[in-house]
Structure 1
Amino acid sequence: MLTELLQGIEAGGFLVIQDSCSYSGRHLLKSFINAALNRAEVVHVLGFDVSEEELKDGLRTSDTQRLHIHSAYTDPLGWTERPAFTVHQFRLEDLTDLVKQTPHPKPATLIIDSLSWILRHVTPPAVCKTLHQLRKGGAVRAVIGLLHADMHQRGTVGSVCHLATSLIAVAPGAKGDEAVAKITKRSKFRKVMQDEEIFSLNGDFTVTIHSKRSNPEQNWNDAEEEQVDPTAELTFNLRLSDSELEAKKKLMLPFVFSKEKLATLSQPAFLK
């Protein structure tokens, strides 16, 4: 499924790469940037965590007309007079204006490196609102964000990941050059597919899949979980047999009138 996601994210899609201090997801994020450039897509990158030089390292920087990096690394809070980009511009209106400054006929793919920096200075509800608005389309076709899960409370991580159409949680693998990707993909019909893949990244940020373990497709709303039957060890029976169910159906409740009684009550003598 990782290879499938690298081949393209559907319009309105929101992909979250969730990492931690034990394994960085930035190189995988660069894989998605290069993959988008290979498909001749326009890519806008919001850079907070690392410098522009470090972010460009290994990317297809020759595609200068389609790769646009808006670095907020040197002045993320806008303390100088003319900052290139600040965290306070993470709003739909400002992001739309930023993307439209470069004349391209097709909507762009927006890369956020990282969502964690934004969440440190903007409230989670405001961040989620902007992400939800970006998913509706317009100047941005799809959004890919890096999220450092161990920097936030579980509720904050859950709120952001709940908006995602695809989630890739990365962790170190058994070998030094391998990593584990736990992937969750939600379809438009509220179906969920899950994969666990062992992969490695090559020098050009292409991905090699070594093995994977797939789970069957599940319904996000109606997925059944194994549960212990609370009635298994009761000394009396809470369930009815077929004959008892049939007798229950024939039982006349005291507040329900039969046809004969309704006919009697509708006689003129009762209507006076």
Structure 2
Amino acid sequence: MLTELLQGTDAGGFLLIQDSTGYCGRHLLKSFIGAALNREEVVHVLHFEVSEEELTDGLKGSHIQRLHFHNAYTDPLGWTDHPAFTVHQFTLEELAHRVKQTSHSKPVTLVIDSLSWVLRHQSPPAVCNTLQQLRKGGAVRAIIGLLHADMHQRGTVGSVCHLATSVITVAPGMKGDEAVAKLTKRSKSGKVMQDEEVFSIKEDLTVMVQSRPSHVGGRQNDAEEQETDPTANLTFNLRLSDTEREAKEKLALPFVFSREKKTALLHSGPGSGRILYEPDANDDYDQEDPDDDLDV
């Protein structure tokens, strides 16, 4: 699935690369920039965290002319008199104006490095609204953003991920040059596809998908745990043999009445005893006042 995403996102798509302190997703972001340039697309980059030189490192060829940077790295908060781009200019009107300044008939891809900078200085609803308007407004064909998930609250990350059509969560792999990508892609019909792949990035920013992560060791451990008998080392036996189980089933419990016993108790047969009481003359019994003999 990672190779398919690199080949091109659908029109109106929003691809989110989610990383953490364990693994930086900027190299993968640069691979997506290179892939978009190879498709002869125009790429606009809003860079807040690194310089233009660092982002262009590894990107070579004549297609660099279709790469346009909006520098928010030197003065992201507008402290100088003439800032190039600030975090407060992250609005639909400003971004659409900057994209239209470059007269190209080719599709435009907007890259944001990173959304964490914007979310730290603007409210999440405002940022999500701007991203949604960019997707639907037609100013850009696709949006690719980098998000540092461990810098924000879970609700903020969930809101941005819910807005994205594709989410790539990167984490370190077993080897030094490997990484694991957990991918989630939502189609226009609403179908959600998920996958997990191991990949590496070469010096020319080419992504090599190697294989899916192996969980064989974990499955073997689970099987061993299931096969372990917790009653093996007990000093008494908790299991019944077939003979003991058969005897247990035939045993009549004292509080369980059989059908014959119930019949004998409920229906008296011949020869059963009864108690009859006949009052004598000394009994002072008044039917109208049964409690007359009480000293009340």
TM-score under structure 2 length normalisation: 0.70
> Is the alpha carbon distance of 1:61 and 1:94 closer, same or farther for their aligned partners in structure 2, counting shifts above 3 Å?
farther
- Offset of residue 86 of structure 1: 0.7
- Deviation of 1:131 (Å): 0.5
Look up the match of 1:10.
10
Aligned to 1:206: 206
Report the equivalent of 1:225: none
Paired letter, 2:135 = R
Segments of structure 1 that go 5 or more residues without pairing to the other structure are 214-272
Superposition RMSD on alpha carbons, in Å? 1.1
Q: Once the 2 structures are TM-superposed, how far is the Cα of residue 40 of structure 1 from its aligned partner?
A: 0.4
- How much has 1:140 moved relative to structure 2? 0.5
Structure possessing the higher radius of gyration over alpha carbons? 2
Match of 2:44 in 1: 44
Q: State the partner residue of 2:149.
A: 149
* Offset, 1:61: 6.3
* CA deviation after TM superposition for structure 1 residue 65, in Å: 2.9
C-alpha displacement of 1:55: 1.4
The percentage of counterpart residues that share the same residue type is 77
- SS of residue matched to 2:208: strand
| CA distance in 2 between partners of 1:61 and 1:152 (Å) | 37
Match of 1:173 in 2: 173
Match of 2:218 in 1: none
How many residues get paired? Answer: 213
- The aligned amino acid for 1:33 is I
Q: What one-letter code is carried by the residue in structure 2 that aligns with 1:89?
A: Q
In the alignment, which residue of structure 2 is the partner of 1:93?
93
Cα distance in 2, alignment partners of residues 176 and 192 from structure 1: 31
Summarize deviations over 1:38-58 as a string: whole Å, max 9, x none.
Answer: 010000000001111111111
CA distance in structure 2 between the aligned counterparts of 1:129 and 1:80, rounded to whole angstroms: 28
Are residues 190 and 131 of structure 1, via their aligned partners in 2, closer, same or farther at CA, if it must alter by over 3 Å? same
Aligned AA (1:180): V
SS in 1 for 2:63: coil
Aligned pairs (5 A) from 1:1-272:
1-60=1-60, 62-212=62-212
The answer to whether the Cα contact below 8 Å between 2:16 and 2:144 also exists between their aligned partners in 1 is: yes
Deviation per CA, 1:211-246: give whole Å up to 9, x if none. 127xxxxxxxxxxxxxxxxxxxxxxxxxxxxxxxxx
Could you tell me which amino acid in structure 2 is paired with residue 164 of structure 1?
A
Q: Note if contact 1:109-1:143 (Cα within 8 Å) is conserved in structure 2.
A: yes
In terms of fraction of residues, the more strand-rich structure is: 1
CA distance in 2: counterparts of 1:42 and 1:60, whole angstroms: 15
Unaligned runs of 5+ in 2: 214-296
Query: 1:130, 1:60 → 2: CA distance?
Result: 32
CA–CA distance in structure 1, aligned partners of residues 45 and 164 of structure 2: 18
Asked if the contact 1:16–1:166 (Cα under 8 Å) also holds between the matched residues in 2, the reply is yes
Query: Is the 8 Å Cα contact of residues 107 and 139 (structure 1) preserved in structure 2?
Result: no
Q: Is the 8 A contact 2:114 2:145 kept in 1?
A: yes
